[in-house]
Amino acid sequence: MQKVFQSCDELDRYCYEVYGLSEDILMEHAARGMATYIQEHFRQGSTLLIVSGVGNNGADGIALARQLHREYDVRLSLPFGVRSKMAKQQLTRAKAVGVKMVEVLEDADIVIDALFGAGLSRDLDDKTQSILHRLNTFKAYKIACDIPTGVGKNGSLMPMAFRADITLTMGAYKEALFLDESKESIGKILRINLGIADEIYERKSRTYLLESSDLKLPSRSTLDTHKGTFGHVAVFCGEKEGAGIIAGMAASRFGAGLTTLVVHETLSSPAWLMHSTVVPQNASAIAIGMGLGDYFERTFLQKYVIESTLPIVLDADSFSHHEILDIVKQKEREVILTPHPKEFTVVWKYLTGEEISVADLQKRRFEMVRKFTILYPHVTLLLKGATMLIAQGKQLYINPLGSSKLSKGGSGDVLSGLIVALLAQGYRAIEAAIHGSIALTLTADYYRGASYAMLPIDLIDALEHLEASSREQKREALKSKTIKYDYE
């Protein structure tokens, strides 16, 4: 789990003012980190085109050009000249050692975008967009310095961006790297150390990046147990019964001692899933909404869902039942909401009266999640997407481990089943959401068929492999504690 910041400006200033580390020193380390990545991945003599801007992001690129000069065939382009003090100073140094300057942009083995870094707050002008369009057509391996040009300070596209294979980000992770709409432009992510330990460079943060090694799986190490030891999940199975069955199967496979489908009549489902027309008295957690429709009467929902005190996962159709959604106001209950963006706009309108479009939400995901948790700090919110955001109170967690394999009906039902299984086994709501989300994304990695072909049952079947994977991830994390590598 790594800290994430909205900006690194304050962290850099602290280095200048408290540690006596100058802007020049940090810049040299930034360039050295990029140089090391290139040296480790590309043979000497490879052609390297660096396109640098007028400010300090451009200065990073110019410093990189000097550091790799002669070892690589370096070509430096300054389409807008230089403006900042550091950019001018780095250009003087680069020219002194003989770095080759070019005006015409031509393809190379490696292309580095150092035009604009984090903090871009305006749309790109026509000339910059033209440059990016040309760079994006190149077949080169593309590297973004700090953040791809065209990705704004909140992560949204301005209106388009350099499409990097990898982003080498400086110092610490930034929220702008984890917005859904820019994920394709950012590619993989590698954090570059600025010559000072992470623990010293980073300050306090309430936002965290989840890693696969963070997964905390249900434990069955105790010998004196029985099925009741591991909780009893009740999944409401509604009009689209398949959704509830999928959630129930996932809950049972993820450690719930007992799983019951709450139905009006017996369904055709796996033999290990029980059926009941009411919530069992010994149930320890509830999941509702998956394919729910209008299957249950209001009086039934009032008695077994709204007046219950059991931990609960609200998903899908539960957001269109206002009496169910009002559960978010129950402060003494463990409540988890798992909406996709469209569902969140419905929730937000009902709870606040404010309309927000899906497009606007997607550009303001971090802001809107924080607004929700200010209103309902006791509720755990998991906003689905290419990158899942999980929040409770002032804490926010980012799960960047998802893949397009999960973009299929039923994946969300599996997620609800995983989360409610953990609730039933005694996890706190925020813990259940975090570890259920990591488990979902990691199970997708086990599917070896075509990316379009994965089914919910494949995710459920892959759950049995997570224990071995978790042990391996923790071993790898310990071996590479000082190397913060890619999120794929």
Same domain for 415 and 470?
Answer: yes
Where is the domain boundary, 173, 204, 235? Answer: 204
Query: pLDDT band for position 485 (50/70/90)?
Result: very low
Same domain as 324, residue 301? yes
Residue 488 located in a structural domain: no
Question: Which pLDDT value is given to residue 225?
Answer: 65
One domain, residues 309 and 179: no
Domain for residue 269, yes or no? yes
Instruction: Say yes or no: 191 and 135 in one domain.
Output: yes
Within its chain, how far is the Cα of 450 from the centroid? 23
Query: Does 399 lie in the same domain as 354?
Result: yes
Same domain assignment for residues 107 and 245 = no
Model pLDDT for residues 443-474, shown as the tens digit of each residue: 998 888 898 999 999 999 999 988 865 555 55
pLDDT per position as a tens digit, 22-51: 999 999 999 999 999 999 999 999 999 999
Give domain status of residue 124, yes or no.
yes
Q: At 429, which helix (H) or strand (E)?
A: helix 429-446
pLDDT at 89 over 90: yes
pLDDT at 96 over 70: yes
Range ranked top by mean pLDDT from 332-341, 403-412, 450-459: 332-341
Q: Kindly indicate the confidence band of residue 483, based on its pLDDT and cuts at 50, 70 and 90.
A: very low
Q: Does some domain include residue 376? A: yes
- Say whether both 191 and 221 belong to one domain: no
pLDDT of residue 80: 94
234 DSSP β-pair partners: 260, 286
Q: How far apart are CA 260 and CA 32, in angstroms?
A: 57
Angle between helix 85-97 and helix 56-68 axes, rounded to 10 deg: 20
pLDDT at 226 over 90: no
Confidence bin at 230 (pLDDT 50/70/90) = confident
SS (H, E, C) 228-267: HHHCEEEEECCCCHHHHHHHHHHHHHCCCCEEEEECCCCC
Q: Which two tokens stand for residue 338?
A: 């798992």
Q: Which domain holds residue 150?
A: 2-204
Q: What percent of the chain has pLDDT over 70?
A: 93
CA 305 to chain centre: 31
pLDDT value at position 479?
54
Structural domain contains residue 132: yes
List the CATH number of the domain containing 470.
3.40.1190.20
Q: Does residue 440 belong to any structural domain of this protein? A: yes
Q: Are 283 and 166 found together in one domain?
A: no
Q: Both 110 and 189 in a single domain? A: yes
Report the CATH number that the domain containing residue 107 is assigned in CATH: 3.40.50.10260
157 and 110, same structural domain?
A: yes
**What is the CB neighbour count within 10 angstroms for residue 415?**
28
Of the three residues 204, 231, 253, the one that is the final residue of a domain is 204
Last residue of a domain, one of 154, 177, 204: 204
What is the domain count for the chain?
2
Residues 311 and 252 in one domain: yes
Q: Are residues 235 and 171 in the same domain?
A: no
Would residue 393 be called left, alpha or beta, if left means φ above 0 and alpha means ψ between -120 and 50 degrees? left
Please give the model's pTM, rounded to 2 decimal places: 0.91
| pLDDT at 56 (0 to 100) | 93
pLDDT for the residue numbered 474 = 53
Task: Supply the pLDDT for residue 264.
Answer: 87
Q: Is residue 232 part of a domain?
A: yes
Classify residue 383: in a domain, yes or no.
Answer: yes
Residue type, position 43, single letter: R
Angle, alpha carbons 168-151-204 (nearest 5°)? 65
Instruction: Dig out the tokens for 486 from the structure.
Output: 């890619």
CA dihedral 188, 201, 120, 358 (to 10 degrees): 60
Give the residue with greater pLDDT, 413 vs 121: 413
